[in-house]
Every structure is written in structure tokens, then in C-alpha cells.
Structure 1
Amino acid sequence: MLVFYEDQCPEWRDELDELGMRTLVSPSHDADEWTARDEKKNPKHKAGTLKEPHRHLLAMYDNPVSYDQVVKDFAFLKSKNVKYVKSLPAMARYLTHMDSPDKAQYDPEGVCEFGGADWRDLCATTSDKHLALREMRAFIRENNIVDFYLFWDWCDEHNDEWSRLLDDSCCYAIEHYMRSFRAAQVVTQEDRDALRAKRVDDGCHTDCQTGAIQS
């Protein structure tokens, strides 16, 4: 994670395109203000005054690299503020201050993606995915959907969040659920009658109103 100023490298977009690394860049943070905490650290940073417009960059390496390597790779940005990231999702969300309501909020459409990085997928937390999966399962039940490819096509057209989750990591879970749901729909009235008859043969009787088994 690093902070840079556009006037230090006006061609930063071209440089990042050529670098070919999975990288996310925040919208221009032009409404950030210094806080009382900042002022305590540096009296020149008066609380309530605007910071100089800047951008945050989140770089994702495939393998561990040294601090010096990161500085070298992004030397063209002339940044003096480079830090390691402990949580990629948390820092991805920080690019727009998504989880910081006390800070200026920025439009997600302003996030720039390079090298195949996907900001929305990275922002999705476990709780977000769990909620989305529950919504998918409810939708499948309520609409009696039994063909996975039709559901996927529908998501591609009508629900980008679900489509992304299916493309990413939730495909197996939903396909398995739909397979089970489809199997349950195959149980015919004849099957139910046969099961009821077997219960009678076994000495069990079913209440016609409640369906409860009576001995």
C-alpha cells in the first residue's frame, strides 16, 4: 500500500498498465481532512483543514517480496509512504473509505483496476458472501429454478453481484444446492402415496390434516 500525488507522476496510468501487476488505485482523495490526532503528531496539520489531494495504491504480488523491491517497482510514483498490508479486503475497502463513515466517502466507480485486479471481488467479506448465498438459495426456492445454467445466465443479465460470486468462488456451493433442490422436486405424488402406504403396512398412520405420523 502506498500514497502518491498525481502531479509527481502525471503518466501513472500508463506506467501501471505497462507494469502489468494486479493493482488497485483509489479515486482521488480530494476531500480528506487532517484530524486532531494528526495535529498532535504534526502541529502543521491543523485539524479540519484539507489534505493535499492524493491517491492510495494497493499492489498485489504473487509471491512475497522485500520492501526494497516494492519501492523499486513503483519508483516512478516517487512515493515516500509505502506500507505492508495485513488484510487485502480491508485495504481494498479503504480505497473509498467504505468502512469509515467518519471520513469523506468516494465513488467506487472511481477505483482504477490494473493487471486483472477486481476491486469488488476483493471487497467482498465472508459475511457479505454468506448473505448473498442465502439470498441466492431463497431465490432458487421461490422461483423453482432447477437448471443451473439458466440461473447463471439470469445472474449475468440481472444481478452483477451474484454473477461475480458464481464466477469467483461460490459456484460449487450453489450448484450443489440446486442439484439437491432439483432431486427433491422429482419426488412425485406416486412416491408420496407409496411412502404413505408403507407407513400403514408398518403400523403407522398419517394424519390427513397435519401429515403427522400416528402409531
Structure 2
Amino acid sequence: MANNTGKDTRSKTWNLIVYPESAPEGWKELLVEDGISFVCSPLHDKDVLPTGEIKKAHWHILLCFSSNKTFKQVLEVSERLNSPIPQKSKSTGGSVRYMIHIDSPDKVQYKKSDIEVYGNIDIEQYFRITSTERYNLIREMIDFVRENEIDEIQDLIDYAMINRFDDWFPLLCDNSTFIMSNYIKSIRHRKKRF
């Protein structure tokens, strides 16, 4: 009978750190060719150590497998990328959200739109906003419309698509165009009356 007293070192999701200067050329393609699905953070090139010194540039990678992989199996992948020791992901959502420091306002914030997904992985589920956040974003849009005298929904959508792609644009696409269109329309009608 096998000794089963140790911790299970298998997992479907593993975290890696990849450094640009030590990664092999075309390292992402290597993973794709191996059939490994993964999520890649934006390049973290602005992170700061407690001393104030800039950290070495790196990517956070979340490897996602369809079945459990042992530490040894993932270590082989990690070694091919010249990456430090892989870590089991304790939370897929936490790993993905950490890629842009969304829950760490004291750290440099990276753009969600710069996250790269390779394979059939839905990361949007980890960024769904609460009702309170949604209402605050709608308030921001209303303030923006008022301050910039916007009187066409197209102007707001164009602005959101270019400048607020990670928060306003999805909100307008999914469920807030109705209120924003009506708000903008009422501004236009009020201008006509006066």
C-alpha cells in the first residue's frame, strides 16, 4: 500500500514567474505547442521592493491543466522556461486578480486588458463587479457626461472604448446603456427647451 501520509502535491492550477532576460525566445508558443492552457499577466516592470528599488521585470503565469499535475510534472515545464520553483495556486481567481494587483491598491495597478489568455479559460468571471461598484461606475459616467457636455451616447461609448475599456465599456455593453442613453437624451431635450 502506498504511503499516503504526505500532502497531495497535485493540482490543476499552478503559478509560475517568468523573467524576460532568462526566458527562452518564444516561450509562450512553447506552452501552446505543448497544449498547456495558461493566463499571462502584463509585464510587471514597475513593481517596487520595500526598499523603494524597482523589482526585476517579470510575468505572472497561471498554468491551467484539465487534470491534476504533480509538482514534478510542472517543475519540468518551469525548468524549460528557466522559471523559479512553481507554486500550487490556492485560488484561481486570486491568481488571476493578482496579475493586475486589483485587490492591492498600494501596489502598481496594471491593465486588465493586457492580460493574455491562451486556451479556453474564462477570466472574466473573476472580475465581475458588485452592485455597489456598478452604481459607482454609473455615477462616474454621469459626472463625466455632465462635465464634458456629452449629448450623444456614441460619444460616451467611443470614449469608454478607448479610455475606460476595463470598466465603463463592459458596463455599457452589458447593462447600463439604457440608463446612460436616457440620461444623455434628457440633457439633449433640456437644451432644446432653453
Read off the aligned partner of 2:21 and give its amino acid letter.
D
In structure 2, the partner of 1:100 is: 104
In structure 2, the partner of 1:31 is: 46
Q: Which has the higher helix share?
A: 1
- Residue pairs, 1:25-64, within 5 angstroms: 25-35=40-50, 47-64=51-68
1:4 maps to 2:8: no
Q: Number of residues paired by the alignment? A: 125
Q: Distance in 2 between matches of 1:117 and 1:21?
A: 11
Aligned pair in 2 of structure 1 residues 3, 120: CA closer, same or farther (>3 Å)?
same
In structure 1, the partner of 2:185 is: none
In the superposition, the TM-score normalised over structure 1's length comes to 0.52
In structure 1, the partner of 2:155 is: none
Gap runs ≥5 in structure 2: 1-14, 136-169, 177-194
In structure 1, the partner of 2:122 is: 118
CA shift at 1:161, angstroms?
8.2
In the superposition, the TM-score normalised over structure 2's length comes to 0.57
Read off the aligned partner of 2:85 and give its amino acid letter.
N
Q: Say which SS state the counterpart of residue 97 (structure 2) adopts.
A: helix
Q: Distance in 2 between matches of 1:78 and 1:99?
A: 28
Q: Distance in 1 between matches of 2:52 and 2:175?
A: 37
Aligned pair in 2 of structure 1 residues 30, 98: CA closer, same or farther (>3 Å)?
same
Read off the aligned partner of 1:30 and give its amino acid letter.
D
CA shift at 1:160, angstroms?
5.0
Read off the aligned partner of 2:37 and give its amino acid letter.
R
Is the Cα contact below 8 Å between 2:36 and 2:63 reproduced in 1? Answer: yes
Aligned pair in 2 of structure 1 residues 87, 11: CA closer, same or farther (>3 Å)?
same
Read off the aligned partner of 1:21 and give its amino acid letter.
I
* Root-mean-square deviation (Å): 2.6
1:159 maps to 2:173: yes
Is the Cα contact below 8 Å between 1:111 and 1:119 reproduced in 2? Answer: no
Q: After superposition, give the CA deviation of every residue in 1:120-167 in whole Å (9 maximum; x if it has no partner).
A: 23x146xx4x749x99xxxxxxxxxxxxxxxxxxxx9x62589xxxxx
- Residue pairs, 1:134-145, within 5 angstroms: none
Q: Which has the higher strand share?
A: 2
- Larger-Rg structure: 1
Point out 4+ residue stretches in structure 1 off by more than 3 angstroms: none
Q: Distance in 2 between matches of 1:76 and 1:160?
A: 41
Q: Distance in 2 between matches of 1:10 and 1:95?
A: 22
Candidates 26, 29, 37, aligned match of 1:14? 29
Q: Say which SS state the counterpart of residue 61 (structure 1) adopts.
A: strand
In structure 2, the partner of 1:69 is: 73
Is the Cα contact below 8 Å between 2:16 and 2:78 reproduced in 1? Answer: no
